[in-house]
Chain A
Amino acid sequence: MTEPVVQVENLYFRYPARTDFALEDINLTIEQGEFLAIIGQNGSGKTTLIKHFNGLLKPTQGKVTICGKDTGNLPTSELAKQVGYVFQNPDHQIFAETVRDEIAFGPRNLGFPPERIEKNTNLVLEEMALLDTVGQMPFQLSRGQRQRLAVASVLAMEPSILIIDEPTTGQDWKESTALMELVRQLNQNGHTCIVTTHNMNLVSLFVRRVIVMRSARLFMDGQTQDVFREVGKLLTAGIKPPEVYLLAQQLIPGFHPDKPVTPDILADTLSHLSEAAE
């Protein structure tokens, strides 16, 4: 049994000058190589929670351990080697003059030797389909390219955990699925991937484990299809599951899928049921 990459024990967090907790009694374990989504209403604590994974926030009470190290005693710069954080809005993190400089900044800052910086930069440029843009100014790129650049500059630091906060806001379906596809590939290459999103259709198509936050607490934690089946419970957390789950629940009594449901999968299931009935 390998050590979990993220271990959260009895975590409480209160922002300065606030009386209420933004996180209460969170317990959570994430293993190497998982691909999970954290969902919940605006203000439920998603972003506050993931900011504990890279040490941007430190517990008020309780303990967060990343790759075996307690974040309470660790500078954020140390954690940056393990945990890559891609901000919701790529323009909040992009600042360099060229695409190449943007990518090289992180590994240089971590003190990587020049050959390794060069190698990583070339690797992620290719991985993120940004080779054509290498000499351009980041702000000349399209929104989708800037998003990929933000991911690339984080990947160049070789983090084992990749956190992506709301990767799909303001993007259309094609761009959103392309980005999630990219995250899936990174996950298959061994990165532990954590996303927060409001787009339940994307969660259902790409993610294996779902954590639901409600009013500062961890409300549900399970496999994607098991979480989305619990329609009534999700509604109390302000979450509407993808419509295929709602449809399945009304048409198929005791519907209990063993993998995340897509329109095609539900259509197949209904086809089989109707054949069986004949």
Chain B
Amino acid sequence: MGFIELNQVSFLYRGSKTKAISNLSLSIEQGEFVGIIGPTGAGKSTLCWVIIGVAPQILLGKLSGEVSVKGLASNKTPVAQIAQIVGLVQQDAEVQLLMTDIEKEIVFPLENLGLPRPEIERRLNYVLDLVNLRSNRLRHPFYLSGGQKQRVAVAAALAMEPEVLILDEATSELDPIGAEEVHNLAGLLKNEGKTIIMVEHNIDELARHADRIIVMNDGEIVRDGRTREILSDIDFLIHLGIYPPQVTQVAYRLMKDGLLPNLHASRMPLTLEEAVQMLSEEGEKLYD
């Protein structure tokens, strides 16, 4: 049994005629970094909400099948309890920032939990260092850049010490460097043993850190596999309206033109570093 487990899960929002997700089955192990991609309306956010229990407990509708996190049924366990295991950061960090400085923002939910002061201090210092915002700890969130705000939202989620962190299009309003900051942070957290689930349109960045990619379309999982295998399938991604990493597209074209005879179709370069190495030295060495 996986840490997160979905078995034949469907969800129909109240008032809607079509299921937002239908018959999803998947299992996520502790410590995995899973990227979820797909066109808008594919059901990616609904999947996140079903995992935390927000759907159907807060966003009303009809759930069928079984969802569990660490053995707890998501639809029957209070959301507040699941939220201590799974943290969620959404697209617009501003809507979740409500205090007058970063420190208060992070401390507020911990005080709510009734944690003792030394424990709150310890967690505060730990997450401020992790997201590299210690020197800004007394600033008003309003004066932070987009990337910094998003990092505050991540820090606030992490201070709850969740075992899983879900980032649902958390970088879509950020400039390229801000987006990279959030992705690098997600990679760091994975190395610290957290389970990361990242819904993302920015495939170039996702390719750097994700172990596994789930592709959704029309409420269903259409592919689920290792990152390299999924992102190497250029024709499939483009058919779905997903823009693959540019360097992968270049290698794919060269392979189709017969220029990279040693390159295997399921083992394309995904990052700039890999592409440079492969294209400047010749294919096979990279993947031996």
Contact = CB atoms under 8 A, between A and B. Distances in A.
B145 A270 contact: no
B185 interface: no
Nearest to B234: A263
A113 B91 CA distance: 43
Interface stretch (A4-12, A126-134, A154-162, A243-251): A243-251
B165 to A, nearest CB: 21
Contacts of A169: 172-173
Which bucket holds chain B's interface residue count?
35 or more
B243 to A, nearest CB: 4
A172 B39 contact: yes
Interface residues of A, number: 35
B96 interface: no
B246 interface: yes
B280 interface: yes
A247 B39 contact: no
B178 A42 contact: yes
Given A42-B178, A238-B176, A172 B241 contact: yes
Given A41-B178, A174-B39, A239-B176, A263 B253 contact: yes
B247 A270 contact: no
A96 to B, nearest CB: 23
B265 interface: no
A239 B177 contact: yes
B246 A200 contact: no
Contacts of B204: 243
A250 B276 contact: yes
B41 interface: yes
B275 interface: yes
Contacts of A242: 246
B257 interface: yes
Given A42-B147, A43-B145, A171-B40, A240 B250 contact: no
A201 B40 CA distance: 19
Given A42-B174, A238-B176, A243 B241 contact: no
Contacts of A243: 204, 245-247, 272
Contacts of A274: 259
B242 A263 contact: no
Contact of A270 (B91, B172, B180, B279): B279
A247 B172 CA distance: 24
Given A42-B145, A172-B242, A251-B279, A198 B247 contact: no
B246 A244 contact: yes
A173 B241 contact: yes
Interface string B228-248: 000000000000011101110
B84 to A, nearest CB: 29
Interface string A192-229: 00000010110000000000000000000000000000
A247 B175 CA distance: 20
A118 interface: no
A198 B176 contact: yes
B280 A271 contact: no
A247 B145 contact: no
B35 interface: no
B250 A198 contact: no
Given A175-B40, A247-B276, A251-B280, A266 B175 contact: no
Interface in B144-189: 145-147, 169, 172-180
5 contacts: A143-B40, A172-B40, A173-B242, A238-B178, A251-B279
Pairs of residues from A and B, 7 with the lowest C-beta to C-beta distance, nearest first: A174-B241, A267-B253, A263-B249, A42-B146, A240-B176, A173-B243, A243-B246
